Amino acid sequence: MVKDGFDRRLFLVSGAAAALAVAAPQVAAAADTPLRAAVLEYTDPWTKATGLAELLRRAGVTVVPLDLARAATDQGDPVDLIAFGSFTNNDARYTDYVTAHAESLRQFVAEGRVVLDLAQSDQFGAAVSYLPASLGAVRTDADYDTIHPTVTDHPLVAGLRTSGGLLFTGRNTATRVSWETVGQWRSMRVLMACAATGFPPALLEGGHGVGRFLVSSLTVDKCFDSTGAAVQPAAAVEDSAAFFATLARYVRMVRTGAAPSVTPTPMPPERAAGPLVGHVEHASARIWARPGLDPTQFAGWLCTFRTTHGAARTVTAELSTANDNTLLFDLSDLRPGATYEYSITPARTALGFTPLTGSFTTAPPPGRPSVVTMGLGSCAPSTPNSVWTQIMDEGCDSFVMLGDTPYVDSSDLAVARRKHREFLVQPELAEMVRSMPVWGTWDDHDFGGNDTHGDFKGKTNTRTAFVDYRANATFGHGADGTGLTAREDGQGVYTSFRRGPIEVFLLDPRWFSRTEPSWADPAKPTCLGRVQWDWLRERLLESTATFKALATGMIWDDKQNGESDDWGTYAHERDAILDFIAAERIPGCFLIGGDIHVSRALNYGPRVGYDLWQFIVSPLHGSTIPSLNVPSPHLVHSAVEPHVFLKLVADTTVSPATLTATWINRDGRRVFEVQRTAAEMGHHPG
């Protein structure tokens, strides 16, 4: 349609990935021809912000709403751009449209136009479904406040303001600059990224026909409230306006055939991870690694280990393709309380391969007086963090991951494995796990997603990824109820271990929850499930450890918010556990929880025949939730403290034996401390 002497093409603006289609005639139009945009955007449900249409108008673009009843290629007037605003995917109208009109979106781009997709995921592993088969992008759940330019001379990047090498700085932190991101892509170019490494991408460009798809995780359109008032600082609004001005110039370049060709950025190769020291007893140890070499060429591997003055011994293992090309070595006939060094190498020579090395100390001899210093923590970052170094500096000889370690938030197996891998390669954490025993259970974010339970449909995949990247002694049970020591299909991930005077029961309150009636009250749903409950009773009765920790990711009381993933929801089973401990007169028990991004110590009084304490430690990362530091008549200490871990010292060389729990932040500051004696925890002299 020609109006006022200009060929006005319609700019369709939305926030989900744009589609590329078959090649079509190039549009020959003057570079200064006014643009039109059809916009699909919704107010951000969290911050109530908007702004895509307004920012395009400020860039000189005529904006009209995207007609959801029409195909992308049939929007009335010809169009140049279809843009989906950030968070549009939270409305079914967006998903319905991109599903019904995927082919027309591809045709739209193939004819020499642009689709900009700013939609966020919040669906954990959601693919941009309308891209042509030659392209691909899969969104995932990770939030970032840093945006790095990766192609500085590209029209969409050149000329944008940077501060300290970063784009889009100084923004209101209520809206993350990259809310969600892209975890996988195919045949697309990374123009901006959330990290200096170029991964994960924040802006991807893909060519289809003579047009372009732009897939992004940026929220730079969210600048105004419902009245039009700015919700971002003036400089941040200027940065957003500059980006959409460059976008308008870029669309004109695409339309005239002047845009640079797309040179795809390859996905980074799957990274090596480890080594990781897993379950260690007084006479055995498990060592895990993902060496990163081609499994078809390097299937056999060697682990050589020795004490300082002992003879070297070697065990072998095969790279397990079923477990994401990882290794698991079982070392036996070790000496109690001894320090071992180990080295992992391929059985055949691999030029340039650096041996994977580390060390560990076996548990003290059973039944003898000893001191164990154990670290525990939950809610951990997948970015470099000195909290892990502080754990080592505090003299911890072992560590327990209490869940959200890492944040997976996906039912996609490839995504879940990658999240575990990205977590373990963080430099300070990598140094820690190669040099001390590490055990783990999961909480909601590594099980499935926030506040997820046993009815989560993707739990088989998240369990597979968990066992692929851990080296516990056991991993829940098989179909017949027998405990699993192998990394294979099974149910749950619960396990236990003894280290000197302390035994830790790492429970799984996720896998079985809501899947069957409770063994404690058939009228209510279960949390642990019958098999895990029977296992816990048996292990508690058999335990001779002075101190016994019942540990889960979620807390043992009520969070007092709208979520139901706490033991307050399953109080019937929690109380049955505590009643069992009291009835059987099992001494030395205490509770451990995480999850809530707050640290607390609570004393419930003589609930089990002696004072029962709960130690809550969270988070290892920097995000706290002050609203979950709720009042309680049992609360003794609390702190809304980031980067915190729990240091447990169990000492049976003194009389009476003592258990000292100290909450410590990454700077080494003591937050608070609780000390109990064996006598105060139900042990009687003699």
What is the helix (H) or strand (E) element at residue 354, kind and residue range?
none
- Here the tokens at position 248 are 């308008």
Instruction: Evaluate if residue 1 carries a pLDDT over 60.
Output: no
pLDDT digits (tens, 9 = 90+) for 462-514: 999 999 999 999 999 999 999 999 999 999 999 999 999 999 999 999 999 99
pLDDT digits (tens, 9 = 90+) for 317-373: 999 999 999 999 999 999 999 999 999 999 998 887 889 999 999 999 988 999 999
Instruction: Evaluate if residue 203 carries a pLDDT over 70.
Output: yes
Query: Which position has the higher pLDDT, 148 or 5?
Result: 148
Confidence class of residue 290 from pLDDT cuts 50, 70 and 90? very high
Rounded Cα–Cα distance for residues 324 and 78 (Å): 49
3-state secondary structure of 487: coil
According to the model, what pLDDT value does residue 32 have? 62
Q: DSSP per residue over 114-182, as a string?
A: EEEE-----SSS-B-TTS-TT-EEEEEEEEES-BEESSTTSTTTTT--EETTEES-S--TTS-SEEEEE
Give yes or no on whether 2-256 and 378-409+427-457+487-681 have one common fold: no
Work out the percent of the chain whose per-residue pLDDT is above 90.
Answer: 80
Query: Which position has the higher pLDDT, 159 or 141?
Result: 159
444 in Cβ contact with 249 (< 8 Å): no
Q: ∠ CA(137), CA(465), CA(90), 5° rounding?
A: 40
Confidence class of residue 12 from pLDDT cuts 50, 70 and 90? very low
Q: Write the Ramachandran bin of 604: left for phi over 0, alpha for psi from -120 to 50, otherwise beta.
A: alpha
According to the model, what pLDDT value does residue 580 have? 98
Work out the percent of the chain whose per-residue pLDDT is above 70.
Answer: 93
- Here the tokens at position 584 are 């059987």
Residues, the chain, total?
A: 686
Determine how many CB atoms are found less than 10 A away from the CB of residue 544.
11
Question: Which residue, 624, 613, 592, is CA-closest to 677?
Answer: 613
Cβ density class 643-667: b for 16+ within 10 Å, e for less:
bbbbbbbbbbeeeebbbebbbbbbe
Token pair 């749903």 is found at: 525
Token pair 């190769």 is found at: 269
Domain boundaries, the chain: 2-256, 378-409+427-457+487-681
- Here the tokens at position 560 are 């007092």
Rounded Cα–Cα distance for residues 83 and 148 (Å): 22
In terms of C-beta distances under 8 Å and separation of at least 24 residues, what long-range contacts does 513-516 make, across chains too?
513/453, 513/454, 513/570, 514/453, 514/454, 514/455, 515/454, 515/455
According to the model, what pLDDT value does residue 126 have? 73
Rounded Cα–Cα distance for residues 128 and 210 (Å): 20
pLDDT digits (tens, 9 = 90+) for 419-467: 999 999 999 999 999 999 999 999 999 999 999 999 999 999 999 999 9
Give the architecture-level CATH label for domain 378-409+427-457+487-681: 4-Layer Sandwich (3.60)
Q: DSSP per residue over 399-468, as a string?
A: EEE-S-SS------HHHHHHHHHHHHTSHHHHHHHTSS-EEE---HHHHTSTT--TT-TTHHHHHHHHHH
Rounded Cα–Cα distance for residues 137 and 126 (Å): 9
Q: Write the Ramachandran bin of 365: left for phi over 0, alpha for psi from -120 to 50, otherwise beta.
A: beta
According to the model, what pLDDT value does residue 121 have? 55
Backbone angles phi, psi at 572, to 5 degrees: -65, -35
3-state secondary structure of 592: strand
Average pLDDT, the chain: 91
Instruction: Evaluate if residue 25 carries a pLDDT over 70.
Output: no
119 in Cβ contact with 89 (< 8 Å): yes
Rounded Cα–Cα distance for residues 69 and 99 (Å): 13
pTM given for the model? 0.69
Is residue 635 classed exposed, middle or buried when 0-12, 13-18 and 19+ CB atoms within 10 A define those classes?
Answer: middle
- Here the tokens at position 342 are 């180990």
Q: Report the topology of domain 2-256.
A: Rossmann fold (3.40.50)
What is the helix (H) or strand (E) element at residue 571, kind and residue range?
helix 571-583
84 in Cβ contact with 40 (< 8 Å): yes
Mean pLDDT of the 56-81 span: 94
Confidence class of residue 6 from pLDDT cuts 50, 70 and 90? very low
What is the residue type of 62? T
